[in-house]
């Protein structure tokens, strides 16, 4: 009877610790995660931040359970006597605990799968929309050729004479990037827009985004590409359509 009462007390205490840690984990997911992520400048990045928030919140109860048991084991169940402590009862024989773990894991896995497929489908739809607009000569799409080399980026705009070392984009326009490299493998990453693709020598890789906030953002190289890899950064200037056209017209024929 005493052991049963002790077990009930242990279970109750672990439940209380689990509940407190779950609340902390949910608050961290809702508030700390978006604060720690880069500022969003596109729908793609906004969805990436939202995904991180949702996944953190969904994982909070599972992580809290692991932490609660570990904390309780280190503080209450820690052996303080002489000799080798005896093992406690194995949880694998506990039917309710096994069912709860299997059901919880299944629900979480299906949730992550459905969310991931939904995001993948939306990305593919956006890519198909951009391709159709490009084929029809739609004005909603801007094409930029991106060339990497040790240790700088250069950008050209097909159909114009413009080449530049900073990237200029009009706000709320679909942009397709054709990315390549002159020497080694680089990584083209617009941090605040949430897009990243490798720049490979002799190969063109594509990615697309729609910037939705006017401002100045950062491009970084994500592949170790030599001595000055850490300094291979440049700026992205997202401006209004009118300012973008003025910038194009003001550029010299060569840089």
For 145-188, the DSSP string reads EEEEETTEEEEE-TTSS-EESSEEEETT-EEEEEEEESSS-EEE
Which single residue is written with the structure tokens 């840089």?
255
- Per-domain residue ranges of the chain: 2-79+93-131, 141-250
What was the pLDDT predicted at 92?
62
Q: Give the C-alpha distances (Å, rounded to integers) separating 237 from 24, 41, 79, 117, 211.
A: 38, 11, 61, 32, 10
- Which tens digit of pLDDT belongs to each residue from 47-67? 888 888 888 888 888 888 888
Question: What is the C-alpha to C-alpha distance for residues 82 and 41, in angstroms, rounded to an integer?
Answer: 61
**Mean pLDDT lowest among 11-20, 37-46, 89-98, 213-222:** 89-98
- Which tens digit of pLDDT belongs to each residue from 102-150? 888 888 888 888 887 877 766 555 544 544 444 444 444 789 999 999 8
pLDDT average, residue stretch 228-250: 90
What was the pLDDT predicted at 155?
93
pLDDT average, residue stretch 152-173: 89
CATH number 2.60.40.420 is the correct assignment for the domain at 141-250 = yes
- Which tens digit of pLDDT belongs to each residue from 140-161? 478 999 999 988 999 999 888 8
């Amino acid at each position: 009877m005493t052991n049963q009462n002790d077990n009930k007390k242990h279970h109750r205490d672990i439940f209380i610790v689990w509940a407190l840690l779950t609340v902390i984990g949910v608050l961290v997911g809702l508030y700390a995660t978006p604060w720690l992520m880069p500022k969003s400048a596109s729908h793609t990045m906004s969805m990436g931040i939202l995904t991180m928030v949702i996944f953190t919140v969904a994982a909070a109860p599972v992580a809290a359970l692991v932490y609660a048991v570990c904390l309780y084991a280190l503080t209450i169940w820690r052996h303080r006597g002489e000799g080798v402590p005896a093992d406690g009862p194995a949880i694998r024989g506990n039917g309710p605990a096994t069912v709860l773990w299997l059901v919880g894991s299944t629900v979480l896995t299906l949730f992550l799968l459905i969310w991931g497929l939904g995001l993948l489908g939306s990305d593919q739809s956006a890519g198909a929309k951009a391709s159709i607009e490009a084929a029809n000569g739609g004005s909603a799409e801007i094409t930029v050729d991106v060339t990497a080399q040790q240790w700088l980026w250069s950008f050209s705009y097909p159909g114009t004479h413009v080449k530049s070392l900073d990237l200029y984009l009009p706000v709320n326009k679909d942009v397709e990037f054709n990315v390549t490299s002159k020497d080694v493998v680089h990584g083209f990453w617009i941090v605040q827009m949430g897009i990243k693709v490798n720049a490979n020598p002799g190969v063109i890789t594509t990615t697309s985004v729609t910037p939705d906030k006017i401002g100045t953002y950062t491009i970084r190289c994500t592949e170790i590409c030599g001595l000055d890899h850490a300094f291979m950064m440049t700026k992205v200037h997202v401006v209004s359509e009118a300012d973008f056209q003025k910038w194009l017209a003001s550029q010299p024929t060569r840089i």
